[in-house]
Amino acid sequence: MKAVKYALISLFLAAMCFATAVSAQDTGVEAVKTDDAKASEAKPTATPESENATAEDDVILPYYDNYLKEYRLGPSDVITVEVFGQCPDYCKAGITVPPNARISYPLVPGGIFVAGRTVEQVAAEVTKKLNEYIIDPKVTVTLDKAVSTRYSVMGKVASPGVRAMDRKISVYEAILDAGGVAKGGDKKRAYIVSYAPDGHLTKREVSISDMESGKTAMVFLAPGDQVFVPGKGFGIDTIFDVLGKASVVRFLFGSPF
């Protein structure tokens, strides 16, 4: 009889333990679901504005990054040379390119000529020089400050002048940086004056008004370009015909009329 009684008690205790375990498991599942729900609620929802901003970044940032990679070095630019695992012996930060465009570097007699080269081309040159002393050197050259390439904005703008081209810049941005179109300036007709490969000046007409309204795509400047905003009813052809090539260059870099 006692055996039966003990057996019944054991069964009862086992059933209670099982029920407790199931209840704890269910509670744990509910807790996980609750945590997941809270996490889902806390997670920010993408808005059209944020999606548009991301899309714009995806388009614009690579454009600027590519400009810096394609940038041709010149005097006064500042670069940094790093060799993986070889710092500080072969790492140099804040190198200002001198007027002769030849930077000094360890183990390279006479230095390295960098004018007209991209940072990737300079890295390749440094790698070639170090191959004689270091096994498989990993060289990185970065552009810290770009000041050698310039553009100018002249004519009917608030603050005409020559500026450093430290990034890829559109005609619209260039005019805004120059204080915008001044009173009497023609926003429907602006001109980009560039040097052709043969040394001659070429011109291209663009409309600032159309860029502002989104009717036309932004036009970006090349290094050395000059932007000219004429007065209303004034044509840039008059400058080319009357002053001639040499005078035009002096005019564009001198005081606006």
How confident is the model over 142-158, as pLDDT tens digits? 999 888 888 999 888 99
Is-same-fold flag (70-145; 150-253)?
no
* Euclidean distance between CA atoms 208 and 203, whole angstroms: 16
Please tell me whether the peptide bond between 98 and the residue prior to it is cis, using omega within 30 degrees of 0.
Answer: no
Give the model confidence (pLDDT) of 33-86 as tens digits.
444 444 445 444 555 544 554 554 554 455 555 666 678 899 999 999 999 999
CATH for the stretch 70-145: 3.30.1950.10
pTM for this model (two decimals)? 0.56
Which tokens go with 189?
A: 């007709």
Give the model confidence (pLDDT) of 114-132 as tens digits.
998 999 999 999 999 999 8
CATH for the stretch 150-253: 3.10.560.10
Q: With H, G, I as helix, E, B as strand and everything else as coil, classify residue 150.
A: strand
| Strand-pair partners of 128 | none
Residues recorded for the chain: 257
pLDDT over 90, % of the chain: 29
CA-based max dimension of the chain? 128
Structural domain spans, the chain? 70-145, 150-253
Q: How do beta strands 150-155 and 226-229 pair? A: parallel
